[in-house]
Structures are given as structure tokens and as C-alpha cells.
Amino acid sequence: MKCRKCKAEIPNDSKFCMMCGAKQSTKQRTKGRGNGQGSVYQLPNKTWIAIKTIGYKAGADGKAHRITRSKSGFKTKREAVEYLPLLTASKREKAITFQQLYETWFPTHQASKSTRDCYAAAMKYYEPLWYTKIQEITVDDLQECIDDCPKGKRTRENMKTLCGLLYKYAIPRNLAELNMGEYIKARGGEHGKKDGLPIEAVEAIANYVGKVKGADYVLCQCYLGFRPSEFLALDAKNYNRKERAFVGGAKTDAGRDRIVTISPKIQPIVDRLVKNKISGPVFCAKDGAKMGIAAYRSMFYDVLEKCGIENPTIEKDGDKRKKYTPHSCRHTFATLMKRVDGSDKDKLELMGHTSTEMLRHYQDTPFEDLRRITDAL
């Protein structure tokens, strides 16, 4: 054989060249994993173990000692290597919903029957969030549930108290990091009720579709009536192209899988958004992924500003909020339906409610509607 470097003739199976000393083996060593990626090795029982350093702690001797996580019992080295990324120091996400948290907490709470009944009644008005993961719920989501409660201030106070107790239970169990109950307010009356966008504002937004980014999304929410979280969760696979209707909504007795037909005012927009989609969010972020509530809220305020719609900050008793929020679109939808002949039953079906009390809560009553009635007397 010839030396792979100097090409001199050398005996077969030589490991080194007698002339230049070059190593003849071309077999490469297995590439090691980078620092922090962990390691694997074989145990005396011939199984493999994956081990990873996740941190350090100071010992009694003043030296730093490794904190490791490991898992053994793998039959092959490959299985152990593939498991290494799962040995992480970050908290394991627990996909618990708001309703699951309530159902876990409720049996542990020691209180009188009347108090427990009050909490059960208060939980009913958190229905838009029942099936939402705790990690995805914002203070604004909780506040909107309180603001939308058609009952008196006492019920709203019970909702705030219940929220605080649920998060107090969740925090030490690594289900939440912040007690949201401390940041919501049991406001009621006209201060709590959301304003729907006036019809002239809806018309202004329609005129800016294609000119202002997000105007098409806001206009669609006004004509679909979904809550912000429901609206952003609408999936192309749940759009009935033949009937031109969405199937979606919060998973409640009345709102689960409700059918909302598309208004001609927004049909061209919906057609464009679902044109080539088989599945995935319809009202999505720029990269096609699901848009978060915070991003949509920012877009909503930007649309109103660029469309010339005044959105003042309202302050009462030290509490500040915008007059119009993304949830206002749901009120707008209810008010638009008020101007259309039809049964309350069908309108409630579109809203995802069973109570006419809730329908009245969402509907605004413009002066021109009242004037039309009195002028006909």
C-alpha cells in the first residue's frame, strides 16, 4: 500500500508511514456535543444513561457543585442522545385551563355552603375563559369578563375574590406566576359596560380596508361578533365554504361550535383570507401563526387612530381604560343585529348566549333608534 501523504510504498495494514510518520487511518472521531448539551454513557448493566448539568449550587465547603438531571434505562446510545434535549431546567408547562383550575381548587376550599354557592355563580360569568390555558389569560381578559357581567356589583366583587383565590392556589403549584386577582376591579354600572363602536366608526373602518393595516380584521370582528380570543382562534378548517359560515366560539353550553354566517359586508375579506388555506388561523400574524391578544389589541388601537376614530381614555375612581377595546366589536355586532328584524332566539344563537338579559347587556341603544319608535307613535 502507499502512504496517504508521501505516497511511499509501505507494508499493508501499516498504522503509520515509516518514511514520513503520517497516520494512515482516515477514520474520524465521533464529534462531541457542545458544552451544556449533556452527555451519555453506558452503565455496567449495559443500558445507557443521559445526564445534563442544569446549574450549580454552593456547597458547605464553599465550592460550586453541579446540579444535574438524568434518565437511565435506554437500550441504545442513540435513544439516550435523543433524550438529552428533554433534560431541561425550565419548568414543565402544565396545560391547565381556567375551568380545570377551578375544579381542582373548589373541593379544597373551606367555606360555608352559601359562600361556595356564590363562587359557583361567579364562575359562570368567566365562561369565555373556561377552556383557555392559564398561561394565556391576561388581566384584560379577566377584566372584560367582569365588565360583561350583567349582574350587580356584589356578583362582580365575588368574581374578583374568586379570581384571587384561584391564582393564590395556582402560584405555589407552578401553574401561574402572578395573582391576576390583585389587578382586576369589580367595577359596575355604566363604568363597567363596554361601548360598541358607533355605526359611523364602522363605516370609516370599512373605507380604510386595504389602506390601513388591520382595518380588515377589525371590520370582520364587528360583523362576526366573536370575543377577541374566539376571533383569533377561528381556523380555516372550521369555515364552511358552501354555506359561507364559521363554526367556532367559546366552549360553553350555548357558545360551543356555534354557527356564525358571514355578512356580505365582509365576505370578500373572508374569501381572500381563506382562499388557499386548508387549516390554520384565518386572522393570523404576519408569519401565518396565531396572533396573540396583546398584538391584536395593539393593532386595534392603531387602526382606530389611523382611521380618525377618537378613542379617549376614561377615568373613574382612579381607574383608567380606553373607551373602545377589541371587545367593543362584540357589542357593535349586537347593536347592528338590533337594527335587523329577527327573533331573539336566532340573535342569541349568533352571540352564543341563552339569556335575553345578556343580549340586552351587549346592545347599545342609539338615539336615532329610539326616535324612530317615538316618531311612529
Distance of alpha carbon 84 from alpha carbon 71, whole angstroms: 9
Which residue do the cell numbers 387549516 mark?
Answer: 279
Q: Domain map of the chain by residue range? A: 98-192, 199-375
pLDDT for the residue 203: 95
Mean pLDDT by 10 residues, the chain (377 residues): 83 78 66 67 88 70 72 87 72 70 91 92 88 84 83 90 94 88 77 74 95 96 87 89 78 56 91 90 90 90 96 74 87 80 58 48 48 45
Kind of pairing, strands 48-58 and 245-248?
Answer: unpaired
C-alpha cell at 5: 501523504
pLDDT for the residue 118: 94
DSSP code, position 61: T
pLDDT for the residue 268: 95
pLDDT for the residue 277: 87
Distance of alpha carbon 165 from alpha carbon 56, whole angstroms: 35
Answer yes or no: are the C-beta atoms of 129 and 141 closer than 8 Å. yes
What is residue 347's three-state secondary structure? helix
pLDDT for the residue 357: 45
pLDDT for the residue 158: 94
pLDDT for the residue 33: 56
Angle at 183 between CA 177 and CA 188, to 5 degrees: 145
For residue 321, give the nearest of 137, 153, 140, 125 by alpha carbon: 140
**Which listed CATH number (3.40.50.360, 1.10.150.130, 1.10.10.10, 1.10.760.10) goes with 98-192?**
1.10.150.130
Distance of alpha carbon 311 from alpha carbon 294, whole angstroms: 18
CATH superfamily of 199-375: Intergrase catalytic core (1.10.443.10)
Answer yes or no: are the C-beta atoms of 75 and 106 closer than 8 Å. no
